[in-house]
């Protein structure tokens, strides 16, 4: 099983889509400053403890600051049968609108 990376311009079609969960892996402070619309915050360090709450029938899209952490998270959860995409370049490469908490 493998996962795909997606370009930041491609994430726009997933925002607000049913059965898609966009997960911001950064810490809460960074998430609150600005995140991709509809994204939920699950810091990477807390992902393992929270994966029981993440549905296997959803497409997960992970992103972090620059893309490295989301690749690690995708690799980790892929082994558990999740359908995952990772945002190439992370939020640093994203040029769209940001929501703030």
| pLDDT for residue 100 | 94
Q: Residue 5: its pLDDT value, please?
A: 94
User: pTM (2 decimals)?
Assistant: 0.94
Structural domains in the chain, CATH included, are: 4-93 (3.40.250.10)
In this predicted model, what pLDDT tens digit does every residue of 19-77 receive, in sequence order?
999 999 999 999 999 999 999 999 999 999 999 999 999 999 999 999 999 999 999 99
DSSP code per residue over 58-96: SEEEEE-SSSHHHHHHHHHHHTTT-EEEEETTHHHH--S
Band the pLDDT of 88: cuts 50, 70, 90: very high
Q: What is the pLDDT of residue 3?
A: 77
């Amino acid at each position: 099983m493998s996962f795909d990376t997606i370009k930041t311009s491609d994430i726009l079609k997933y925002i607000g889509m049913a059965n898609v969960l966009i997960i911001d892996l950064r810490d809460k402070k960074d998430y609150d400053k600005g995140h991709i619309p509809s994204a939920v915050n699950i810091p990477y360090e807390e992902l393992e403890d929270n994966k029981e709450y993440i549905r296997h029938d959803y497409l997960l899209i992970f992103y972090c600051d620059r893309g490295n952490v989301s690749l690690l998270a995708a690799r980790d959860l892929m082994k558990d049968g999740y359908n995952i995409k990772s945002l190439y370049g992370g939020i640093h490469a994203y040029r769209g609108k940001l929501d703030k908490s």
